[in-house]
Chains A and B, each alone.
Chain A
Amino acid sequence: DAGVTQSPTHLIKTRGQQVTLRCSPKSGHDTVSWYQQALGQGPQFIFQYYEEEERQRGNFPDRFSGHQFPNYSSELNVNALLLGDSALYLCASSLAAGSQPQHFGDGTRLSIL
């Protein structure tokens, strides 16, 4: 049973560029959440997708956008990259039901030069 998979594992970009990160949820999961983890910090919630719609959003600018596809996979897009966007981006999947825990992928390490 495959868990949450993310691609790519590492990415290097320069300021001003755009990036797309991808996530495939754990089999049977219908909800995908994205988190940003800066070095030495806890993960920060970016947004959550369910039924192809953004259901919740954290305190991140509009440069951060996402998408969920009919097969429940998801993309995170970041435009106009800043040095401060350098972080580990984590995808988590779950069932929409309230008490179900989120399962995390290994993340994409994004470095901005």
Chain B
Amino acid sequence: AQSVTQLGSHVSVSEGALVLLRCNYSSSVPPYLFWYVQYPNQGLQLLLKYTSAATLVKGINGFEAEFKKSETSFHLTKPSAHMSDAAEYFCAVTPNPNTGFQKLVFGTGTRLLVSP
């Protein structure tokens, strides 16, 4: 079954430092991959998506992710963390992208903590 694994339930960085959140996927077919962010008491906001086009995907708020098939990874990065980036981040995979109906399988999430 398709799944995603997010390494590290918590990641702490200083403001201005590089952000790296790790996601590895398992899929028997080329997947669609997504990163979502969740702020306290809110729903999920789409940061970026990979749907088999360019392997380096740029998203909102300065985030980007690179799809690496050989490593089955889709890590999320941001060159310089801002205090407002503190939130929960979820990686998700679509198990059957060739069908018309897309359910998302989520990882367990990584909480990003940003210190001044």
Structural contact, A42 and B101, CB atoms closer than 8 A: no
Question: How far apart are B25's CB and chain A's nearest CB, in angstroms?
Answer: 13
A4 proximity list for chain B (CB < 8 A): 43
Structural contact, A41 and B101, CB atoms closer than 8 A: no
Chosen A-B contacts, 24 in total, with CB atoms closer than 8 Å, are A31-B101, A35-B104, A41-B108, A41-B109, A42-B90, A42-B92, A42-B109, A43-B90, A48-B101, A48-B103, A90-B44, A92-B44, A94-B102, A96-B100, A98-B98, A98-B99, A98-B100, A99-B32, A99-B49, A99-B97, A101-B49, A104-B36, A106-B41, A106-B42
Is B11 an interface residue, CB under 8 A from the partner?
no
Structural contact, B44 and A45, CB atoms closer than 8 A: no
A40 to B44, CA, bound (A): 14
- Measured as residues with beta carbon below 8 angstroms from the partner, the interface class of chain B is 20 to 34
Q: A-B pairs with CB below 8 Å: how many?
A: 65
A63 to B99, CA, bound (A): 27
Structural contact, A105 and B43, CB atoms closer than 8 A: yes
Is A73 an interface residue, CB under 8 A from the partner?
no
Is B13 an interface residue, CB under 8 A from the partner?
no
0 or 1 for each of A40-75: is its CB under 8 Å from B? (1 = yes)? 111111001010000110100000000000000000
Given A41-B108, A42-B108, A42-B109: A90 in contact with B99 (beta carbons within 8 A)? no
Is B106 an interface residue, CB under 8 A from the partner?
yes
Q: 8 Å CB contacts to A: which residues of B64-116?
A: 90, 92, 97-109
Q: 8 Å CB contacts to A: which residues of B27-54?
A: 32, 34, 36, 41-46, 49, 51
Is A111 an interface residue, CB under 8 A from the partner?
no
Q: In the complex, which residue of chain A has the Cβ closest to the Cβ of B101?
A: A55
A107 proximity list for chain B (CB < 8 A): 42-43
B106 proximity list for chain A (CB < 8 A): 42-44
0 or 1 for each of A82-113: is its CB under 8 Å from B? (1 = yes)? 00000000101010111111111111000000
A56 proximity list for chain B (CB < 8 A): 101, 103
Structural contact, B97 and A104, CB atoms closer than 8 A: no
Structural contact, A33 and B46, CB atoms closer than 8 A: no
